[in-house]
A and B are shown apart, each in its own frame.
Chain A
Amino acid sequence: MARKVLTLAEIRDGSLRNVSFEAIAAAKTIADGGEVVAALVGESVQSYADELIYRGADRVVVVENEKLKNYTPDGFGQALMAVVDAEKPEGIVFGHTALGKDLSPKIATKLNSGLISDVISVEQTGGNFVFTRPIYSGKAFEKKIATDGLIFVTVRPNNIPALERDESRTGNVSSLSVDIKDLRTIVKEIVRKTAEGVDLSEAKVIVAGGRGVKSAEGFEPLKELANVLGGAVGASRGACDAGYCDYSLQIGQTGKVVTPDLYIACGISGAIQHLAGMSNSKVIVAINKDPEANIFKVADYGIVGDLFEVVPLLTEEFKKLKVHS
């Protein structure tokens, strides 16, 4: 049964986020031949509309307002609800990002709807759309269906493949004027703490350090390796608790759950709570001095050795590879 599905496009550092293209792909599946409408919300965002069409949206609705410069649940909530009222979608897909996690429960509550969050795959069985999502931070999975209200989901970055970009696609881009008022939370300042570019949840490569890194300086070789691979640096709880790095880098059941293509664990023993956050990565490399370390049980490739010897060697090898290819 064809249905109209709405997605919310997200912009970060001046570009559309990849997860927004993945959300369009998921929306296309759920639409089942119906229309996919992308909402584009912000202060001045019209210029991103064509890209959303190339990525598979059939139509784009742009809501621009100076009060939408920064994300707030009230501001974006009002904008989104105006689009929902105008479009009356039967399905909604957001990215499972800081913004998506914050806004989706509000919209779902306003629409008296269920919400299936952190979805990693969508399949159609019989008349139902079945959504798979991790529980216990990836120690198990559940399959869920929507039984009442809209089909409303958030999709985890890096899991549902985006559609191929196609510049020959065309679609209508319209504007919706929304009166944004009574913002009860105001963003006074945004403090950048992350290194430029690569966000942990969207990184294709993660180089993570544990207690074996021994100090904040010990993370330097890991950062170099991550740079060469265009990846991000992460850490275990042990490393964060020891003060070697910021909690925002923590991967595990408390902390972030990540699924990169390549996860390089350096000096991480592999406590269950850490494994929960990373064991669904596509390929895992473990580097540890202790051959008995738990991390080797989930690793595809392991090197038993001192990370301070191995990591710089790896960096050099990858540099060579980059030069040759």
Chain B
Amino acid sequence: MKRRAAGYWMPISILLMVLLVGFLPSSWILNFGKSQSSPEFKVGSKAFTENVILGDLVKLIAKSENIAVEHQAEIQGTQIVFQYLVTDAIDVYPEYIGTIRYEILKDRNIVTEEEVRTAMLERFNLVMTKPIGFENTYAMGMLESRADELGITKVSQLASRVNLSYSLGQEFVEREDGWEKMSATYGIDIPKPNGNDHALTYKQLESGSADVIDIYSTDSKIQTLDIRVLEDDLNFFPSYDAVFLYRKELEEENPQLVKLIKSFEGKIDNRQMINLNARCEVDNKFEAEVAQEFLSDQMQIDVEIETPSIVRDIFKNTVQHLDLVRMSLIACIIVAIPLGVIAAKQKLIGQAVLGTIGVLQTIPGIALLVMLIAPTEWFGRNLVGTKGLGASVIPVVIALFIYSLLPVVRNTYTGLTMIPGNLLESADALGLTRWAKLWRIELPLALPSILSGIKTAAIINVGFACLGAMIGAGGFGQPIFSGVRLSDTNLILQGAIPAAVLALMVQGVFEIIERILVPKGLKA
């Protein structure tokens, strides 16, 4: 057979193959051929120390009975973690009765614990355990020494002491059920104080410049600063008893696990929880270590945990972060370039496409993530046959994909519409078909613009992928969020520095790709 010039189906199919393989999560690629044993059950936790410890307690107690439970820790916000639970993406997580009343049920007629329990079962088919034993609510606190001096033990005693100085957290001052209602209930008649940063209020209490501050009743600072929690003698603050919420089906799927979850009922009181929080926040222990200690000391259960290692954490975060960026970027390239081509060729559709993508861009990250959880979980269950897809990286990848569409679609569109008319006419005059003209002339001429759009998308994605940690998908956002929560600068840097380095590397890699792919004739 005589040699002919290579057609363009070959390079297109090779490109598509590379893109498709590149789209797979690295765990699939690394585990190819091995049988995968993903944990059958998942416990979630919100992004604060106490909740993470409770999540670890469930994970470890299950481990002691050889039940594999994965802990998806530090999910930002009640809405997301609850969304996970109702879509069955997770099986159980620790919650507070007050939060359930005010943020989930939002029903003034449901007041008592039993009413809340019944409502949760009826409305969401979720079981609420009995209280774990401690309560995490707002409370008024004073230094033990100062309170002693003034003889104050109850909030009602504050009313007659108008010369006390207050330092209150921003949230407590602004909440509807915060300072204003409380001071009215107790008849504390002083001008409304300004809201401060919560970390600052502790400093002011410690230094003596403030006598009374608002605190969370299981705060580790209660122990370390020796704070007296004033008794809420008029029962103003709602009950924020901690409980576990789990899916009703779990009782059939694994009764043993349910029994273990219930074994925490009444097990941890406020003093113990404050102590556990302090072990993390003051002694810089990992939540898992603290949970392990508790199980061993209080419940005589010994479990092995993985010893944490910074190197392994950074490696794990890097892999997760790269996964998020890579998968979303490749999906974006596959979708956005054809969209850009259509937009450039069909003016009317083009305006609609560019407009829609612009609007998608304005949806706040967290809202987009919440919106994506339920459909993703449904898709996973009904079309792929896997559980937990909604709580996996997939919603984050989809959100990143949506955010990265704009630069690529727009640059493809611009690149194609900026081609000089005489070149398009020359291509037509040669008798090239529309496809050949697009493939041989238009796309190569638009390539510099398209590549720079992809580069922008990639760099944006490296930054946005930190959002992934908000719903527990890992990545460099994980140590950043944990570090902010624990006021641990080292931990913040553990995420921030690699993220910055990665952004620079992505920039560098794309500049090399541009150098290789852009024909010499198109370089200035």
- Indicate, yes or no, whether A interacts with B: no
